[in-house]
């Protein structure tokens, strides 16, 4: 799920301007001593007790996130399916009501403009959740996309987005939404909270059991308080975007603007599983067909550092001997593994294979790493 985040989301804090959008929970985050910073056009909580403590809470117990910065677009009408099919890569005709699919939006060259999840709420109702920085662009593309039948677009600017993630997420959410634990992964349902509609989804960006919730901002504080109370009784607490970045990287989930770019195709990013080449025409399909025949000029792979002291970061070069073979796009220290991990593009795509040893140039010093297939951490569905 996924708002380009720098390698250090808690880093340079630009001056807060009046143009920044505000979560309805900002006062609550400040009361909880959150470190706030501008992020993708929003003033958002980066961390509370610290990224490592919050990471540990989610991996061991449960945490609650405010993700209101992400986009929330509803597409309704007889023309909704046909229009979306021409814009996104996966085959939405396979999604039944109450199901969701991960998707990409490509340019005509097959490069990744955006990755997002599309939820099917009804026979002719779809809920699209793009990254914060790309939400206006995705909305504009939806508006410009041709539809053979009538449809209606609604951009829910007055909605909040909360996430409950961790092995005890089901227990944390059951008191507020008793039927939510019945949802299977990538399923969704509609319910109510204090007479306000709520979309509850069994999804997340951490690799843990998790739920994501969408509802109106006027009940955001009450819902946050109730969920946070449940989370605290289970040993967890509030979590910010810094811990979320570490959690998603441990799972090998690519981040738009950092691991996904318009210059690299869906196949180069290793996301061919989210591309239904047989569903009919969609934006970028012709370019992907050509690339499938000609071969990949680059490939996104995982790196696991061999020594604890070596921590890879974005833009660090990768070598085999004296040959420059790639560049790190996302890197961090994995608290779970106790070593550095990274995603990196290698070129051409077949130079470095899984299991090969490479070296990452870390500020002038080389650190040995092994090329691996993410996820780095095994969080098999439980």
Q: Are residues 306 and 336 in the same domain?
A: yes
98, part of any domain = no
Can you give the pLDDT at residue 255? 95
109, part of any domain = yes
Can you give the pLDDT at residue 282? 96
Can you give the pLDDT at residue 2? 34
Phi then psi for residue 60, to 5 deg, are -100, -35
Question: Domain holding 116: CATH number?
Answer: 3.30.70.1400
Can you give the pLDDT at residue 380? 64
Can you give the pLDDT at residue 147? 78
pTM of the model: 0.92
Can you give the pLDDT at residue 350? 72
Residue 207: C-alpha distances to residues 173, 250, 300 (Å): 17, 8, 19
Residue-wise DSSP of 291-314:
HHHH--S-EEEEEEESSTT----T
**Residues spanned by the domain of 111:** 73-92+105-144
Can you give the pLDDT at residue 297? 95
Q: Are residues 184 and 311 in the same domain?
A: no
Q: Are residues 203 and 236 in the same domain?
A: yes
Residues with pLDDT less than 70, the chain: 1-18, 380-382
R_g (Cα) of the chain, nearest Å: 21
Question: Domain holding 353: CATH number?
Answer: 2.40.30.110
Q: Are residues 126 and 65 in the same domain?
A: no
Domain boundary among 117, 144, 171: 144
Q: Which residue has the tokens 């969701």?
A: 100
Q: Are residues 110 and 226 in the same domain?
A: no
Domain boundary among 214, 233, 250: 250
Q: Are residues 230 and 309 in the same domain?
A: no
User: What residues have CB less than 8 Å from 198, skipping those under 6 apart?
Assistant: 177, 190, 191, 192, 213, 214, 215
Q: Are residues 32 and 111 in the same domain?
A: no
Domain boundary among 216, 232, 250: 250
Total domains, the chain: 3
Phi then psi for residue 207, to 5 deg, are 90, -5
Asked if 5 contacts 41 with a C-beta cutoff of 8 angstroms, the reply is no
Q: Are residues 178 and 205 in the same domain?
A: yes
Q: Are residues 27 and 44 in the same domain?
A: yes
Asked if 234 contacts 250 with a C-beta cutoff of 8 angstroms, the reply is no
Can you give the pLDDT at residue 18? 56
Q: Are residues 139 and 205 in the same domain?
A: no
Q: Are residues 77 and 42 in the same domain?
A: no
Euclidean distance between CA atoms 247 and 210, whole angstroms: 13
Can you give the pLDDT at residue 145? 84
Q: Are residues 53 and 201 in the same domain?
A: yes
């Amino acid at each position: 799920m996924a708002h380009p985040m720098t390698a250090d989301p808690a880093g340079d804090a630009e001056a807060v301007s009046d143009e920044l959008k505000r979560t309805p929970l900002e006062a609550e985050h400040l009361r909880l001593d959150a470190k706030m910073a501008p992020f993708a056009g929003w003033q958002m909580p980066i961390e509370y007790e610290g990224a490592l403590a919050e990471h540990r809470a989610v991996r061991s117990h449960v945490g609650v996130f405010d993700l209101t910065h992400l986009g929330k677009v509803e597409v309704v009408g007889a023309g909704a399916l046909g229009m979306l099919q021409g814009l996104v890569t996966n085959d939405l005709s396979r999604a039944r009501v109450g199901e969701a699919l991960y998707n990409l939006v490509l340019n005509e060259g097959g490069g990744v403009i955006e990755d997002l999840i599309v939820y099917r709420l009804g026979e002719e109702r779809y809920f699209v959740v793009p990254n914060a920085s790309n939400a206006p662009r995705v909305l504009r593309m939806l508006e410009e996309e041709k539809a053979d039948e009538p449809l209606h677009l609604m951009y829910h600017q007055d909605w909040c987005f909360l996430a409950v993630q961790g092995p005890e997420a089901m227990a944390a959410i059951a008191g507020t939404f008793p039927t939510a634990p019945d949802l299977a992964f990538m399923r969704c349902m509609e319910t109510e909270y204090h007479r306000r509609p709520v979309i509850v989804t069994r999804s997340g960006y951490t690799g843990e059991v998790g739920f994501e919730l969408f509802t109106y901002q006027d009940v955001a504080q009450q819902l946050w308080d109730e969920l946070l109370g449940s989370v605290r009784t289970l040993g967890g607490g509030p979590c910010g975007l810094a811990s979320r970045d570490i959690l998603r990287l441990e799972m090998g989930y690519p981040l738009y603007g950092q691991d996904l770019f318009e210059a690299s195709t869906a196949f180069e990013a290793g996301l061919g599983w989210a591309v239904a080449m047989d569903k009919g025409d969609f934006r970028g399909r012709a370019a992907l067909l050509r690339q499938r025949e000609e071969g990949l000029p680059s490939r996104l792979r995982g790196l696991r550092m061999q020594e604890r002291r070596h921590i890879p970061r974005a833009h660090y070069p990768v070598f085999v001997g004296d040959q420059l073979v790639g560049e790190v796009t996302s890197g961090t220290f994995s608290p779970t593994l106790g070593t550095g991990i990274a995603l990196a593009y290698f070129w051409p795509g077949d130079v470095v294979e899984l299991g090969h040893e490479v070296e990452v140039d870390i500020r002038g010093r080389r650190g040995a790493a092994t090329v691996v297939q993410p996820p780095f951490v095994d969080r098999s569905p439980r």
